[in-house]
Amino acid sequence: MGTFELINAISSLVLGGIMTVWSQSIKDRAEREKLALQIALERHQATETSQIKAREFQGSSGFHMTRRAIALIVVIAVVLLPILLPAIYSDITIIIGYYDTTQSIWPWLNTYESIHWIAAGSGTRPIVISPVMNNILITIIGMFFGNQMVKR
């Protein structure tokens, strides 16, 4: 009979410890969720306050003129200069880069993108128009005209 009581005492001791650790982990998880909800609520309130301030912001005319100037300079630099400069100077080469999707040699590998370059002209002074410049141009023009469309 002594063995049964010893097994019972040890098993109840181990089970009591496991249950205590389990209940503490449940309490900790509930506390973490409560803190996460408080942080999310504070972030939401901060975002809402920021959105209210952004809606109430009335930009000055200088702000709008700066945006227009940036859009105009980028359009001139990326679109008009590569067209006009070779007509004015004969030793200019326009080099344009574009992305091309290429199939991999191995069938289990995915496709990958590579940049291909095209040179127009045979001059000694290159003007390089990279895909990054094209993306910047598209982004600036899109943001400028998108903002203008919303206002009207």
> Does pLDDT of 1 surpass 50?
no
CB 102 within 8 A of CB 113: yes
Report phi then psi at 14, rounded to 5.
-65, -45
Token readout for 4 is 């049964």
At 72, list the tokens.
């105009």
Q: Give the residue from 100, 87, 105, 93 showing the smallest Cα distance to 129.
A: 93
Q: What is the pLDDT of residue 33?
A: 93
Nearest to residue 22, comparing CAs of 131, 94, 58, 30? Answer: 30
Is 95 in contact with 59 (CB distance < 8 Å)?
Answer: no
As given in the structure block, the two tokens for residue 35 are: 């803190």
Q: Is the pLDDT of residue 20 over 70?
A: yes
Q: Quick check: 47 pLDDT over 70?
A: yes
pLDDT at residue 152 greater than cutoff 60: no
Provide CB contacts within 8 A for 132, sequence distance 6+: none
pTM > 0.85: yes or no = no
Domain extent listing, the chain: 1-57, 61-151
Query: What's the whole-number average pLDDT of the chain?
Result: 79
The identity of residue 6, as a single letter, is L
From 7-16, 30-39, 41-50, 100-109, the region with the lowest mean pLDDT: 100-109
Highest-scoring range by mean pLDDT, 49-58, 61-70, 98-107, 124-133:
124-133
Average pLDDT over residues 98-102: 83
Rg of the chain on CA atoms, in Å = 33
pLDDT of residue 57: 66
